[in-house]
Amino acid sequence: MQILEMKDIVKTYLMGEEEQTVLKNVNFSINEGEFISILGPSGSGKSTLMNIIGCLDMPTSGEYILNGNEVKDLEEGELARIRNKEIGFVFQQFQLLPRLSALQNVELPLIYAGVKEKERKERAQEMLIRVGLGEKLKNRPNQLSGGQQQRVAIARA
């Protein structure tokens, strides 16, 4: 089942008086269960494409269909729900809160989603176990290696 489709996606930015095309006629689809990689040199539009996929930005033109819905037709509240419930982000900088434990960092999006405390803690602990950090639940980010911090961010996503 197709969960994401991009058709002729174009993204332009106005740089002063000059228009710069960052994405030009991007076409691809992703089926349920598939994994993809976005590769390219610095400045090639990877982050711009990921911001569009994550509903953080909109294409200048083209069609972006997510779970059968044209994204440009969705209300801001629905886009916020999608970002909260359906799309996970792992940023280049992991954005972990330094005063919180690994477990508490993973719990954060579940708090915002309104998940009750008992279920939230169980789900966060399970995700940390799945990424191999079951022994590091109480560690703060500065007590973890860079790779471990990245896995906390993956568990949170």
* Rounded Cα gap, residues 154 and 91, in angstroms: 9
Residue 39 in any domain: the answer is yes
Higher pLDDT, 36 or 134: 134
pTM of the shown model:
0.64
pLDDT digits (tens, 9 = 90+) for 96-111: 999 999 999 999 989 8
CA–CA separation, 59 vs 97, rounded Å? 31
In tens, the pLDDT along 48-86 reads 999 999 998 999 999 999 999 999 999 988 988 888 778
- The range of the structural domain enclosing residue 147 comes to 102-156
CA distances from 39 to 1, 27, 36, 54 (A): 24, 15, 10, 17
Together in a domain, 7 and 52: yes
Bridge-based pairing state of the strands 18-31 and 69-70: unpaired
- 9 and 76 both lie in a single domain: yes
| Inside any domain, residue 16 | yes
Identify the band that residue 93 occupies on the pLDDT scale cut at 50, 70 and 90: low
